[in-house]
Amino acid sequence: MSNKIKIILLAIISIILISIYLFSGITSNWDYILPRRGTRILAIVITGGVIALSTIIFQTITNNRILTPSVIGLDSLYLLIQTFIIFVLGSTSSTATNHNLNFGISVILMIGFAFLLYKILFRKHQNIYFLLLIGLIFGTFFGSLSSFMQVLIDPNEFSIIQNRMFASFNNVNTDILYLSIIIIVIVLIYFMRFYKYLDVLSLGKENAINLGIDYDYLVKRLLIIIAILVSVATALVGPIMFLGLLVANVAHEFLRTYRHNYLIFGSIFISIIALVGGQLIVDRVFSFATTLSVIINFVGGAYFLYLILKENKTW
């Protein structure tokens, strides 16, 4: 089976699952139910596509299929921001209750952190692996600060923070969703300038330079694109740690190719299938007793362990 047929098959499965989610079980009140399900589906498609694209680009830059953009520490920073807001200002403050303001603050701080990290490291001509090491250190530091404040916080306010620790598509703010789409479209238009170089980047730094690629310039721009996309997706619905790892590696295994025009679309459709299918399980099987991110992180964590054990056997 050719990769084109595989991509078409994934697209058909995605459309079928989306249709089932949108229209199943509706016998009345179409005007009320359908727009809300449509907003949820749109958030799922946007978030899944952005995380899949970011992970494919990041793994191409690092030439490592186990790493994801979450190692930079943006997920931990998001949780620290939410914890700090409620710890210092309280759960009734406008910063905590105003979703638009909260979204803006979270996106600006996460993008600002990523830009500062890139500027400091690349000014000293450090390589990408040093960036990953610093990102892991900051991520651990942010997580420790969050845990410290969560221990001291009022239990009622902690429950609010707990709801923001996991991604949720049930109550997506429409205004934030449309703003996120605008930001993502602008970033994707900028990304199209560098799309054609991804296949060469996957060959490694030395080979890319020998083939005429301005490696440092290209990597800096792609890292900025990743930071913006991940920040917007995380601030929109919350962190989904293992989704990118799961869908990117499944796309590699399913398509068996290095060409990014297949990998990107394949991972996006697989991400949509995983999220919509997971949301159907949350709605129909668990009756909203759990969240989608719990299921994704459980499956992704198990797959991560499988990848590590698989790599150990190759050595």
Q: Could you give the count of Cα atoms lying within 13 Å of 233 in the half-sphere of its Cβ?
A: 31
CA distance 55 to 249: 10
Q: Is 155 exposed, middle or buried (0-12, 13-18, 19+ CB in 10 A)?
A: exposed
> For position 311, what pLDDT does the model report?
64
Per the structure, the complete domain to which residue 88 belongs is given by 3-310
Q: Is residue 315 part of a domain?
A: no
pTM: 0.88
**Cβ count near 149 (within 10 Å):** 17
> For position 295, what pLDDT does the model report?
81
pLDDT over 90, % of the chain: 16
Q: Is residue 209 part of a domain?
A: yes
Confirm if 71 and 136 have CB atoms less than 8 A apart: yes
Task: Indicate if the pLDDT at residue 166 is higher than 80.
Answer: no
Q: Which SS3 state, helix, strand or coil, does residue 161 take?
A: helix
Span 111-129, mean pLDDT?
76
Q: What is the pLDDT of residues 263-277, one digit of tens each?
A: 999 999 999 998 888
> For position 86, what pLDDT does the model report?
87
Query: What residue type is 257 in one-letter code?
Result: T
Out of 92-101, 112-121, 224-233, 305-314, the most confident range is 224-233
Query: Which has the higher per-residue pLDDT, 110 or 31?
Result: 110
In DSSP notation, 8-59 reads: HHHHHHHHHHHHHHHHTT--S-HHHHHHHHHHHHHHHHHHHHHHHHHHHHHH
Q: Is residue 74 part of a domain?
A: yes
- Total domains in the chain come to 1
Task: Indicate if the pLDDT at residue 243 is higher than 80.
Answer: yes
Task: Indicate if the pLDDT at residue 314 is higher than 60.
Answer: no
User: Phi and psi (nearest 5°) for 146?
Assistant: -60, -45
Query: Which has the higher per-residue pLDDT, 257 or 309?
Result: 257
pLDDT band, residue 25 (cuts 50/70/90):
confident
Task: Indicate if the pLDDT at residue 121 is higher than 90.
Answer: no
Asked whether the CA dihedral 210, 214, 216, 218 is positive or negative, the reply is negative
CATH number at residue 281: 1.10.3470.10
Q: What is the pLDDT of residues 175-194, one digit of tens each?
A: 788 888 999 999 999 999 98
> For position 268, what pLDDT does the model report?
93
pLDDT band, residue 305 (cuts 50/70/90):
confident
Nearest to 234 by CA among 80, 102, 75, 115: 75
Span 45-61, mean pLDDT?
91
Task: Indicate if the pLDDT at residue 171 is higher than 60.
Answer: yes
User: Which tokens hold the place of 63?
Assistant: 């030439």
CA distance 291 to 303: 19
